[in-house]
């Protein structure tokens, strides 16, 4: 253990599983990428090699997580995210009881290549079919962690190799994970829609104009109506002259 002064105890709910409710997630070390999490229970499981993200916000979570990875360096298939093993994912931080717990980006990928040659990796977080977290052994790595059932807490402190800092106390974030509207894209769609409407109106006027006689079956009725109007107008003129 590094130092007892760095030990942080996180209250947990005791039951069939040890559970808590994560308050936030941060992608990388910048607080601008810290987001508040919707309320969802998290099961702490050191015996699980992967972690699961609640179904209600897994889409936004993975959009943020994979946003720094080259688009041609990863893909998703049946809910599993695959990536080149040489890619760098951002360090991931989960907030429990106003403390950030670090998961290094290098611990988010696992080699699954046939010959163990790092040609194909999976991301160790998966979208869950249920609406709760399962936080596997990635969150425990490089910490000494103990469970105290009498106090109902888990204790966290970096190991002696000092690969990680002690848990960081912080104010829970308030920013939501949903992406804001891209106004430039909205304006582009508006211009395209307006141009399509103008083109439709122009084509309609061209095809159905009474002065165009190239497609008789389309505008025969319109021309007949105009001829009737002209004939009535001439008759009225002649009557007024008499």
96 with 214, same domain: the answer is no
Q: How many structural domains are present in the chain?
A: 2
Supply the pTM of this predicted model. 0.72
Contact 24, 34 (CB under 8 A): yes
As a whole number of angstroms, the distance between CA 123 and CA 68 comes to 14
175 falls within a domain = no
Choosing from 144, 169, 194, the residue where a domain stops is 169
pLDDT on residue 178: 84
What is the predicted pLDDT for the residue at 125? 96
Q: Per-residue pLDDT for 183 more than 50? A: no
Domain carrying residue 206: 183-241
The pLDDT of 105-124, averaged and rounded, is 92
Q: What is the pLDDT of residue 4?
A: 82
Average pLDDT over residues 187-203: 56
Which domain CATH number covers 127? 2.40.70.10
Domain identity same for 102 and 158: yes
235 or 129, greater pLDDT: 129
Task: Specify whether 9 is located in the same domain as 129.
Answer: yes
Of 128, 146, 169, which closes a domain?
169
Q: Do residues 139 and 213 both lie within one domain? A: no
Q: What pLDDT score was predicted for residue 222? A: 57
- Residues above pLDDT 70, as percent of the chain: 73
93 Cβ neighbours under 8 A, 6+ residues apart: 25, 26, 27, 34, 100, 101, 102, 103, 168
Using 50, 70 and 90 to split pLDDT, how confident is the model at 163? confident
User: For 78-82, 138-142, 221-225, which range has the lowest pLDDT when averaged over its residues?
Assistant: 221-225
pLDDT at 238: 63
Which of 32-41, 109-118, 160-169 has maximum average pLDDT?
32-41
Q: What is the three-class DSSP state of 176?
A: coil
For residue 178, tell me if it sits in a domain: no
Assess whether 227 and 187 both reside in one domain. Answer: yes
Domain-located, residue 176:
no
Residues 164 and 202 in one domain: no
Q: Is residue 219 part of a domain?
A: yes
Please tell me which residue, 206 or 152, carries the higher pLDDT value. Answer: 152
Do residue 115 and residue 220 come from a single domain? no
């Amino acid at each position: 253990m590094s130092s007892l002064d760095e030990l942080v105890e996180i209250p947990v709910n005791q039951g069939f599983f040890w559970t808590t409710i994560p308050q936030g997630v941060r992608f990388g070390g910048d607080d601008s990428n810290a987001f508040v999490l919707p309320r969802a229970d998290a099961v702490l499981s050191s015996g699980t090699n992967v972690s699961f993200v609640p179904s209600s916000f897994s889409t936004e979570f993975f959009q943020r997580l994979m946003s720094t990875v080259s688009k041609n360096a990863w893909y998703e298939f049946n809910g599993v995210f695959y990536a080149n093993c040489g890619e760098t994912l951002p360090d991931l931080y989960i907030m429990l009881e106003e403390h950030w717990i670090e998961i290094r980006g290098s611990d988010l990928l696992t080699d699954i290549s046939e010959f163990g040659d790092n040609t194909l990796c999976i991301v160790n977080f998966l979208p869950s079919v249920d609406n709760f977290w399962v936080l596997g052994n990635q969150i425990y790595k490089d910490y000494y962690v103990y469970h105290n059932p009498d106090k109902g807490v888990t204790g966290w402190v970096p190991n002696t190799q000092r690969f990680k800092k002690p848990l960081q106390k912080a104010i829970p974030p308030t920013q939501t994970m949903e992406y804001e509207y891209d106004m430039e894209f909205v304006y582009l769609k508006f211009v395209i829609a307006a141009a399509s409407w103008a083109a439709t109106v122009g084509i309609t006027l061209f095809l159905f104009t009474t002065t165009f006689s190239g497609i008789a079956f389309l505008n025969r009725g319109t021309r007949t109506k105009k001829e009737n109007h002209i004939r009535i107008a001439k008759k009225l003129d002649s009557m007024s002259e008499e």
